[in-house]
Amino acid sequence: MIIVNFKTYESAIGENAVALAKIHEVVAKETGAEIAVAVNALDLEKVATAVKIPVFAQHVDAAGFGSFTGSIPPALVKKMGAAGTLLNHSEKRLDEKLAECVTAAKAAGLKVVVCAEDDTEAEKIAAELQPDFVAVEPPELIGGEVSVTNANPEIVENSVKKVGATPLLVGAGVKNSEDVKIALKLGAKGVLLASGVTKAENPTDVLRDLASGLLDN
């Protein structure tokens, strides 16, 4: 699985988010690769309406309908067409609120991807919260030029062992098919990335390359 986090890059918000999501859909269809996108809350409904690939929220709160000013209720995200949500990204850490956010997201019927900074945190998340996926992303490598699969393959191997039956995604510095191939060989089930696609001059070519790494294993 490939999940691309659009963050709030100018190239991936507003109408650009819709256009970029459609590129993901085209590549998913032509390659057969499982590709999903994670978009900001303001773009969620229009992106989910525009494409048939899974669309994830970048975050949800443990909030319902009612007096929750400024919150993002999981049930609303689901109603807007989201298939799931990311939680606990290094740019949106939840700490003591994580467990209740996971519970709320699950109750709304969302797939839950919880991010972890290392294998120790990944083990704790998998055992205690049982999300659909754990995504290991060493924060010091996020947005960098060196993939975690090259910089620290041990953290991937250790995380695979520690999360047990929970599928593991790998993030931080992932850019190309070779990074994907290494991640899968180390036992991961896919990758989570952002700038490698959202800031690419030709995201179609990048996605095709990433998909080939996913499918060649």
Residue written as token pair 């098919």: 177
Question: How far is the C-alpha of 101 from the C-alpha of 59, rounded, in Å?
Answer: 9
Q: Which residues are catalytic?
A: 89, 137
The set of residues, in sequence order, having a beta carbon less than 8 Å from that of 167 and lying 6+ positions away, is: 1, 132, 133, 134, 189, 190
- Alpha-helical regions (H) of 36-141: 44-50, 74-79, 98-107, 119-129
What DSSP assignment string belongs to 8-29?
T-GGGSTHHHHHHHHHHHHHHH
Pair 162, 154: CB distance under 8 Å? no
Question: How far is the C-alpha of 182 from the C-alpha of 157, rounded, in Å?
Answer: 11
